[in-house]
Chains A and B, each alone.
Chain A
């Protein structure tokens, strides 16, 4: 069982409520879901849709082929009917016209009016949809009442029931899985991962598609006893996060490419002043304002190279919500241990996709602050913020803790105390000290995940969010082809882990990079770091996500 339903219309037509209620019912009934969101950068009108794919087994990514379309306007039907299966269905109100036999007219508006409130028309459609899949009204009241007051809940239930009466059941979907799952987006997982890591301070300036991190944290801030500050701009956002981190609390900022452009100087401040910092950069297509609500993986080289001068940073590409949670926790530990900035790189596709996953396990994460023991300093030992240690990591004290001891940091090149200097020898010492700790970090990298065949003929390489589609694509390819396919998907991406890549690349007949950009930035990075060149590329840069079947098809073509 594997169904894929599209719900589309103009912004403001109630599609969000419909999609979210349908996802919730499916989740509560124990089905696995992958919901893709496609929306325009406007508050009213335009064309927007959700694609809800559900199954009794794990759903890895979205799919292009549709079993059903809920068309809240004519445009939705016209745009997507070409993707509807021959035995699929479409729901629409009377105003939507088509000769297509698969169209079922739902008198949603009229029925909702009769039931008492026109505004509940999406519940009429929901009732019909749920009936079509042979489900009853279980969980519905609970879902409505989470959103509406008593009266509106009653009205929605009434409309829902009328919707149920409108159609006959058509699909048998069987029982859901009794095992508990989470229904979550990757941005929420990043936010939750940060809270689980002891995040106390988040400063950011709104920018799609990163804003949902801030909105989740804002909703939970009081409970979690943390501060979320909407900064006046991204310059303030990152400088505030750095200030809070200097003062000793775990802090973080988040943005998209445009905001990150404004943050670049301060990224270097975290580098030279050696202040731990976690930054979530959720990509959208650029340059400049680009396509604000769409997806791309085109900021990889930018985040790796951003800011003047040379300093170590770590970049982790987020691959799915589980990864988002656990890698965020690790990012905080790495930032604290090596006293440098760690960037979590996500994108719109992943951030807005709602997925069912295994619940997060707090036992799997730890909080390692790597702070210096204040005791010796309390007993009179002289404190030097930038002590020239063997491994390059200097003891980090929090200001205000040790009586009489000051903690000095500087964006200028500085001596061991943290005071400005232009001495050539000191400069060399400091550059080498920072390089030593970065070399140490390289020994802790996590190799990319291997999907599909271990001993592949064709090696696909990808990073970040294409994990989900690649894992499904290699399965498709291995089912039919005579070649054996495998994929390496990078999470840790800077510095680039090379062991597994070198080993697999040596044996593969061909290597193909699969990326959501025009130039193939991972391919460039791999070539730069290892000298390995790609045989071919599968790239998409129209702002829409690659699908598994599309990857499989294109891989065979190249």
Chain B
């Protein structure tokens, strides 16, 4: 039987120095440390550089459509809640093309983990601005700088009622792994927005740019991640100082917890009940 070390198997198509490598490595490490086996995990991606993650791991993989990572992930979890469902995909995929699914899967609160590789740029399509690019960011496609306001994923997620919202940085793998573990173990939709330098197309938000600004909330006794208003205030911090860690956390029922018939078995395991179907037919008969 394949063991934990078998998670890593494939050659990647990423640029040397890309933050995606550290995220992939951290993910492998996290899954291994959690004692998960390849068949117990489902990695889902949309389309983009980040979204290639399912291709590079030996686990169940669903490489879907651009912007559409969350819906199949949620449904797969509902169908078989024994699977650990993890989404690895980009900022454009998650907050732009898939924005509506981001909003509504927070509401849906299926037990799944969403790792957004946030490089504040469209990597795969070669350097357009993304929903998280800051105002003034000059790209080949915004020669005069971005004029649209950046989306704040942390604040948005908290405001929408997400129960687990965290930020990590690909340049701090130990902390990233810690966040990954916490998020995977959380029962419900968990978002980890991972700052990820794109060495090829984002010349503004570089490794050094992030490194200079990030600081960890972990270990800070004065910060209470269960206080929603405080968390929203913290979520507004961006620019000179960027907080890393669990920004907000709240325990609640996840989607499948609401169904009595999913307590004892998964949807997949529920047997066909011919007698019941016959009775449904009878309801129409006279």
On whether the beta carbons of A247 and B61 are closer than 8 Å, the reply is: no
Question: Is there contact, CB below 8 Å, between B280 and A224?
Answer: yes
State whether B268 touches A403 (Cβ < 8 A).
no
**Is A290 among interface residues, defined by CB-CB distance under 8 A?**
no
Contact A412 B63 (CB under 8 A): yes
Task: Give the residue name and chain of the A residue nearest to B60 (CB).
Answer: A399
Q: Which residues does chain B contribute within 8 Å of A27, judged by CB atoms?
A: 286
Asked whether A182 and B39 contact (CB < 8 A) given A224-B276, A240-B72, the answer is: no
Given contacts A192-B281, A195-B277, A411-B47, contact A232 B104 (CB under 8 A): yes
Interface centre among B65, B71, B74, B101 (most CB of A within 10 A): B71
B130 CB-CB contact with A under 8 Å? no
Partner of A359, one of B42, B101, B277, B285: B285
Once A236-B71, A248-B268, A420-B52 are accepted as A-B contacts, the answer to whether A243 and B62 lie under 8 Å apart by CB is: yes
Question: Which of B42, B52, B79, B100 is A233 in contact with, Cβ under 8 Å?
Answer: B100
Q: How far is the CA of A220 from the CA of B276 in the complex (A)?
A: 10
Q: Which residues of B contact A469 (CB under 8 A)?
A: none
CA distance A419 to B60 in the complex (A): 11
CB B266 to nearest CB in A, in angstroms, measures 9
B38 nearest CB across to chain A (Å)? 5
Residues 389-444 of A contacting B (Cβ, < 8 Å): 398-412, 418-420
- 1/0 contact trace for A220-256 toward B, CB 8 Å? 1011111101011101110111111011110100000
A188 touches B284 (CB 8 A): yes
The answer, yes or no, to whether A200 is at the interface (CB within 8 Å) is yes
Q: How far is the CB of B74 from chain A (nearest CB, A)?
A: 6
Q: Is the CB of B79 within 8 A of A200?
A: yes
> In the bound complex, what is the Cα–Cα distance between A419 and B67 (angstroms)?
19
Bound-state Cα–Cα, A46 to B76, Å:
44
Checking A232, A405, A406, A420 against B103 with a beta-carbon cut-off of 8 angstroms, the contacting residue is A232
Knowing A225-B261, A265-B65, the reply to whether A406 touches B59 (Cβ < 8 A) is yes
Near A by CB (< 8 A), chain B positions 212-229 give: none
Q: Are A246 and B62 in contact (CB under 8 A)?
A: yes
Beyond A224-B280, A410-B55, A419-B55, whether A243 also contacts B76 by CB under 8 A is yes
List the A side residues contacting B60 at CB < 8 Å.
Answer: 399-400, 406-408
A-B interface pairs (CB < 8 A), number:
198
> Across the interface, which residues of B come within 8 angstroms of A269, CB to CB?
64-65, 68
Contacting residues of chain B (227-280) with chain A, CB-CB under 8 angstroms: 259, 261, 267-268, 270, 272-274, 276-278, 280
Q: Tell me if A201 counts as interface (CB < 8 A to partner B).
A: yes
* Docked-complex contact B286 and A408, CB < 8 angstroms: no
Contact B61 A241 (CB under 8 A): no
Q: Are B285 and A403 in contact (CB under 8 A)?
A: no
A423 to B82, CA, bound (A): 35
**Is A180 an interface position by the 8 A CB rule?**
yes
- B79 & A411 in contact (Cβ 8 Å cutoff): no
| Contact between chains at A404 and B103 (CB < 8 Å) | no
Q: Tell me if A181 counts as interface (CB < 8 A to partner B).
A: yes
Verify if B1 is at the interface (C-beta below 8 Å from A): yes
Closest to A180 in B: B285
| B286 and A183 form a contact (CB under 8 A) | yes
Q: Given the complex of chains A and B, what is the CA–CA distance between A478 and B39 in angstroms?
A: 64
> Do B277 and A248 touch (CB < 8 A)?
no
Contact with B along A52-81 (1 / 0, CB 8 A): 000000000000000000000000000000
List A residues 359-410 near B (Cβ within 8 Å): 359-360, 362, 367, 398-410
Of the candidates B47, B54, B82, B280, which one forms a contact with A408 in the assembled complex, judged by CB atoms under 8 Å apart? B54
Question: Which B residues lie within 8 Å of A28 (CB)?
Answer: 286
Bound Cα distance A399, B77 (Å): 11
- A408: B residues at CB distance < 8 A: 54-55, 60-63
Per-residue 0/1 for A293-323: is the Cβ within 8 Å of any B Cβ (1 yes, 0 no)? 0000000000000000000000000000000
Interface: B118 (CB within 8 A): no
Are B268 and A249 in contact, with the CB atoms below 8 A?
yes
Digitize B79-113: 1 where CB-to-A-CB distance is under 8 Å, 0 elsewhere: 11011000000000000000011011000100000
Chain A 9-53 interface mask (CB, 8 Å, partner B; 1/0)? 000000000000000000110100000000000000000000000
A243 to B64 Cα, complex, angstroms: 9
Which residues in A have some Cβ–Cβ distance to B below 8 Å? 27-28, 30, 180-184, 188, 192, 195-196, 198, 200-201, 203, 220, 222-227, 229, 231-233, 235-237, 239-244, 246-249, 251, 265-266, 269, 273, 359-360, 362, 367, 398-412, 418-420
Q: Give 17 A-B pairs besides A232-B100, A265-B65, A406-B61 with Cβ atoms closer than 8 angstroms.
A: A181-B286, A183-B286, A196-B281, A236-B100, A239-B68, A243-B72, A247-B268, A248-B79, A249-B79, A249-B80, A266-B65, A362-B274, A362-B277, A362-B281, A399-B83, A404-B37, A408-B60
29 contacts between A and B (CB under 8 A): A27-B286, A181-B285, A188-B284, A225-B267, A225-B273, A229-B75, A232-B100, A235-B68, A240-B75, A241-B75, A242-B75, A244-B72, A247-B76, A247-B80, A247-B268, A251-B75, A359-B281, A362-B274, A362-B277, A362-B281, A399-B76, A402-B39, A403-B39, A405-B39, A406-B58, A406-B61, A408-B55, A408-B60, A420-B63
